């Protein structure tokens, strides 16, 4: 395992900032729950299976800044770390991912900073997901502060694959044997095929329900 990283004194100040990121997670989490409830009411269908949120650990922040060759300062944390606050949205089917992206992007108080579509353009490892960096305003007693959140949206099957890849990455510190990387890529292709087959079955069932009505 990697060497334990000593945390600098700057994190005494950083912990004061955590209120903003925790509040941003609550804001986005509530928005997603409302959208899911509305979709259920209008379409009798939930696009979101579940939502997970987390704050990046201080040790991970230090490691990421070190990898970027940056000093560990409050200014650099704010400037170079986009994923301090992270939300993972797990959907049933691939089209749900883009529904969530469109619904969030359409909200007036959300600004989309950047996106990465690993659905249509998977990573070499086979990783598939849709990433958004957004800002949401947090209203304090005396000011309004736009706060960044990273949102990852993927299917249940993709999330299972990503969880395994994450464990393997840390097990081998980013240097897994080639045969394991090959097997992971093959699994990613199988999961993509499974997602498309499950979607086709679901659409066929929904089509039958419409005809019966």
Active-site positions read 150
Q: How far apart are CA 87 and CA 95, in angstroms?
A: 19
From residue 190, give the alpha-carbon distance in Å to each of 76, 124, 157, 176, 194.
Answer: 40, 15, 10, 20, 6
In 56-200, which ranges are E strands? 85-91, 111-117, 130-139, 144-155
- Any idea of the CA torsion for 164, 123, 71, 7, to the nearest 10 degrees? 0
Q: How far apart are CA 95 and CA 47, in angstroms?
A: 9
């Amino acid at each position: 395992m990697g060497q334990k990283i000593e945390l600098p004194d700057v994190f005494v100040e950083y912990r004061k900032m955590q209120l903003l990121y925790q509040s941003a997670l609550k804001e986005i989490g509530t928005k997603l729950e409302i959208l899911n409830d509305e979709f259920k009411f209008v379409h009798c269908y939930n696009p979101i299976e579940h939502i997970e949120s987390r704050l990046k650990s201080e040790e991970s922040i230090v490691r990421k800044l070190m990898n970027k060759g940056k000093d560990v300062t409050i200014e650099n944390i704010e400037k170079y770390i986009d994923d301090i606050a992270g939300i993972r949205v797990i959907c049933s089917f691939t089209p749900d991912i883009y529904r969530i992206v469109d619904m969030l992007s359409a909200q007036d108080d959300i600004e989309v900073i950047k996106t990465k579509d690993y659905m249509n353009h998977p990573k070499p490892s086979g990783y598939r997901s849709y990433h958004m960096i957004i800002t949401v305003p947090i209203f304090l007693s005396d000011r309004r502060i736009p706060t960044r959140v990273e949102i990852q949206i993927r299917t249940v099957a993709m999330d299972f694959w990503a969880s395994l890849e994450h464990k393997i990455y840390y097990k081998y510190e980013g240097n897994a044997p080639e045969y394991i990387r090959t097997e992971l890529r093959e699994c990613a292709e199988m999961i993509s095929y499974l997602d498309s087959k499950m979607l086709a079955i679901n659409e066929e069932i929904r089509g039958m329900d419409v005809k019966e009505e």
